């Protein structure tokens, strides 16, 4: 018996379909007994896991682990289970163990780590254990040898072709509980492609796929969308692909195939890629219901974009161009910015703040999401500069659970060695004024009167560029609970 465990992903326990675990389970359907436990649905996942393992004798626990809240729940719970059930083998996969497999396997409760996409590696691991065979050459698998305690790393798993993978076993989950009310209506998620062909040096996806990208066909993606919409009476589908819009022909065909559904949809794209799409494709996307697209603008500084390895085609001017084009087709661009990069975070922040103001002039409807720059363990100029400024990666799971590193992975950390308190406050104050003057479309709780009040009280600050000590906006935020813009799926 295999138990797939999805730890709590946020304090609010927002239910999002555990697509990575569904994909693993699909490869075992009909071959293995398995069940799911979701920390976002369960009030007490520990009790549920104990009950299932005790009643079924489950011998394998597969856990998907993102840094942050998932890691915070996974570590103590896996330790507890390992102590109580010595026969239980624990497998971790996901972004965190892919990057920090050595930390996970050193003195922790984890028996195996799968680095990268796990469909093939996990299936081979299960088959080897059942046949008492060798696991030495399973691509993507890392573990400690039983005899010598030596770390074995078989490298990244190959990126599978989603077109060749079986459909998700939705019948194994209470899918209705995952239907969320977003600004687009009743919404579920889907994953139609793996990876991204770009190698931005601040992005964790690079560590997973190394510039590789594979996708379902437009026909299969449209069929999956139609199934979800019709089966659960949806208004919208959000695509959690790292880059949904790599192939213009695929996107155009998909858009044409779902036009009759009259739904909304959301996905992630790259600015320079979308700018190469024809007006006809843009029109098809808009007609098919593309409501919002997430775009990594990252910075208003051309030199910072270059150091991020965004490529020679990325520039602030292209961000302005895509904002204008999206406005023409009635699609909301959702821009993320990574602020406070070393070695001169203050200058970069000021340049980007002014750029965001220009962006809002071009397209007032665009959404702005601000993060503090946090490196990923990947060779690159920004990462090297962070190390030179004093960053030291944790060497134990307990260190990763400390308040500093929990905040770090949420891109809200204080105490980063290259950015001082004044710069952090400058970012936070500007964000508060910006979010009040331009309330996010994604907050469905805000009434028209609330939006007008926010804009009225923040207008003088925004126009005069007085962002310091926005105490009245802090109070208003408590009273109205308006949220900062955020990607709808995370």
pLDDT of residue 168: 96
List the CATH number of the domain containing 139. Answer: 3.40.50.2300
Q: Note whether 244 and 251 are within 8 A (CB).
A: yes
317 and 397 fall within a common domain:
yes
Nearest alpha-carbon partner for 24 in 76, 74, 70, 60: 60
Per the structure, the complete domain to which residue 15 belongs is given by 2-144
Model confidence at 167: pLDDT above 50? yes
Tell me the mean pLDDT in the region 276-294.
98
Q: Residue 368 pairs with which residues in a beta bridge?
A: 335
Same domain, 117 and 189: no
Assign residue 216 the CATH number of its domain. 3.80.30.20
DSSP per-residue string spanning 406-446: HHHHTT--S--TTS-HHHHHHHHHHHHHHHHHS--TT-TT-
**What mean pLDDT, rounded, does the chain reach?**
93
Residue 215 inside a domain? The answer is yes
Mean pLDDT of 431-453: 91
- Tell me, yes or no, whether 24 lies in a domain: yes
Res. 490 pLDDT band, cuts 50 70 90: very low
Q: Are residues 231 and 283 in the same domain?
A: yes
411 pLDDT band, cuts 50/70/90, is: confident
Based on the domain organization, do 135 and 183 belong to the same domain?
no
Report the candidate in 52, 42, 26 with the shortest Cα–Cα distance to residue 165. Answer: 26
Beta-carbon neighbour count of residue 285 at 10 Å? 23
pLDDT given for residue 487 in this prediction: 54
Say whether both 127 and 192 belong to one domain: no
What percent of the chain lies above the pLDDT cut of 70?
Answer: 98
**pLDDT tens across 101-127, in order?**
999 999 779 999 999 999 999 999 999
**474 and 331: one domain?**
yes
Asked if residue 160 belongs to a domain, the reply is no
Q: Is the pLDDT of residue 93 over 60?
A: yes
Radius of gyration of the chain (CA): 23
Inside any domain, residue 350: yes
Q: How many domains does the chain have?
A: 2
Q: Does the residue 25 lie in any domain?
A: yes
């Amino acid at each position: 018996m295999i138990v797939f465990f999805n730890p709590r992903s946020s304090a609010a326990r927002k239910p999002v379909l555990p697509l990575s675990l569904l994909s693993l389970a699909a490869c075992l359907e009909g071959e293995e007994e398995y069940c799911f436990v979701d920390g976002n649905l369960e009030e007490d996942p520990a009790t549920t896991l104990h009950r299932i393992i005790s009643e079924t004798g489950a011998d394998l626990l597969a856990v998907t682990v993102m840094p942050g809240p998932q890691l915070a729940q996974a570590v103590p719970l896996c330790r507890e289970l390992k102590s109580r059930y010595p026969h239980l083998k624990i497998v971790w996969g996901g972004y965190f163990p892919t990057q920090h497999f050595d930390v996970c396997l050193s003195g922790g409760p984890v028996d195996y780590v799968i680095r990268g996409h796990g469909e093939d590696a996990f299936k081979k691991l299960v088959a080897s254990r059942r046949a008492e065979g060798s696991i030495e050459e399973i691509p993507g698998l890392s573990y400690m040898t039983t005899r010598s305690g030596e770390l074995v790393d078989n490298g990244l798993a190959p990126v599978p072709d989603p077109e060749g993978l079986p459909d998700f076993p939705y019948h194994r989950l209470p899918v209705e509980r995952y239907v969320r009310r977003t600004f687009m209506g009743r919404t579920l998620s889907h994953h139609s492609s793996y990876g991204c062909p770009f190698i931005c040096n601040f992005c964790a996806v690079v560590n997973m796929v190394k510039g590789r990208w594979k996708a379902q066909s437009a026909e299969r993606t449209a069929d999956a969308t139609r199934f979800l919409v019709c089966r659960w009476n949806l208004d919208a589908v959000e695509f959690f692909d790292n880059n949904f819009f790599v192939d213009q022909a695929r996107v155009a065909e998909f858009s044409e195939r779902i036009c009759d559904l009259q739904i909304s949809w959301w996905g992630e794209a790259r600015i320079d890629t979308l700018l190469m799409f024809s007006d006809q494709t843009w029109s098809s996307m808009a007609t098919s219901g593309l409501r919002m697209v997430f775009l990594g603008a990252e910075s208003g500084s051309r030199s910072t974009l270059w150091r991020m390895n965004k490529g020679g085609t990325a520039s602030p001017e292209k961000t302005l161009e895509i904002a204008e084009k999206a406005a023409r087709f009635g699609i909301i661009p959702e821009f993320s910015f990574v602020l406070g990069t070393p070695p001169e975070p203050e200058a970069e922040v000021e340049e980007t703040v002014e750029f965001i103001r220009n962006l809002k002039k071009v397209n007032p409807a665009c959404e702005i999401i601000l993060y503090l720059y946090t490196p990923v363990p990947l060779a690159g100029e920004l990462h090297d500069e962070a190390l030179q400024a004093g960053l030291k990666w944790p060497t134990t799971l307990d260190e990763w659970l400390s308040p500093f590193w929990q905040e770090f992975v949420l891109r809200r950390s204080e105490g980063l060695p290259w950015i001082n308190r004044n710069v952090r406050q400058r970012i936070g104050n500007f964000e508060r004024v910006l979010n009040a003057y331009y309330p996010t479309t994604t907050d469905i709780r805000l009434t028209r009167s609330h939006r007008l009040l926010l804009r009225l009280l923040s207008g003088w600050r925004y126009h005069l560029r007085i962002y310091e000590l926005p105490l009245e906006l802090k109070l208003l935020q408590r009273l109205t609970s308006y949220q900062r813009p955020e990607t709808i799926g995370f």
